[in-house]
Amino acid sequence: FFKQHNEQYLEKVKMNTTDKTYSRYELTKKRLMEFMKFKYSVSDMLIKDINVVFIEDFLLYIKNNYGCSHNTAMKFVQRFRTVVNFAKNTGLVTADPFGSYRVRFERTDRDYLTMEEITTIYNHEFSSKRLEQVRDLFIFSCYTALSYIDVCELRQEGIRTGFDGNLWIIRKRHKTNVTSTVRLLDIPKAILEKYKDKLPNGKILPVISNQKMNDYLKELGELAEINEPIRETYYKGNERIDEVTPKYALLSTHAGRRTFICNALALGIPAQVVMKWTGHSDYKAMKPYIDIADDIKANAMNKFNQL
């Protein structure tokens, strides 16, 4: 069933779904087969023989053998559940091992930046042109909520004059094909102007690979002293390890989009409006950001109380 699901999904990849998602399903299939060989000495099983204990053991196997956080390991279980649902939809399977199992993610806000931290990065003078360009890309994402792939694909035709006379980014998101509309504020407009007519192949921003971007962001954050301590938990074998690391070590391209959403909600902008800007079609996907925004407001009131 996993093989059938992934073959069908590969057809979707050719149309409107990212290759990365397909590769994650393939990796999940591989890890599931490894687990079955490790635990049961088989490479395949009947779905009716799978139960909650199997699922929990698979989750622990991913955590213990690959050093994954709880949420990363749970993503494997979530994809496993998707394939079980696929099997049920074929009509050949009636058993549902996930019937009484709940996929639960731990809340994390580790890669969100405050407005003060954004300002610190934006105003920092970097001696390297490479870091300066990474800074510009990251800040652009913080002010537009564009994901890394959407920044890469952004062209001049995706920027239009809106009903209010201002410039807006109006385009469909690469991942979901849902249209997002967000106004260009002064800082992202200045960044675009900086690179206007200076890049090849119709590019309007100096994009680099996602891997290099993530590496350089950590270097950039360290130089800008984004040092807030963040606690992380992971597993090495059966040993649980708790570490405290500075926030700059956790920066990634996704942090820009998350930063925009969290700060917009913290400012009191309704979630429905933010969803229009970000291209979210599911309110459920916004719930974690809303929880973080509530914490931001609470922390702000605590600071106000100390004045």
Q: pLDDT tens-digit profile of 113-154?
A: 989 999 999 999 999 999 999 999 999 999 999 999 999 999
Position 307 scores a pLDDT of: 56
pTM (global) more than 0.85: no
Give 228's pLDDT tier (boundaries 50, 70, 90).
confident
Give 109's pLDDT tier (boundaries 50, 70, 90).
low
In sequence order, which residues have a C-beta less than 8 Å from that of residue 205 and are 6 or more positions away? 136, 137, 140, 151, 154, 191, 192, 195, 199
In sequence order, which residues have a C-beta less than 8 Å from that of residue 78 and are 6 or more positions away? 103
In sequence order, which residues have a C-beta less than 8 Å from that of residue 294 and are 6 or more positions away? none
Give 213's pLDDT tier (boundaries 50, 70, 90).
very high
Predicted confidence (pLDDT) per residue in 42-56, tens digit: 999 999 999 999 999
Q: Is the pLDDT of residue 255 over 70?
A: yes
Q: Is the pLDDT of residue 275 over 80?
A: yes
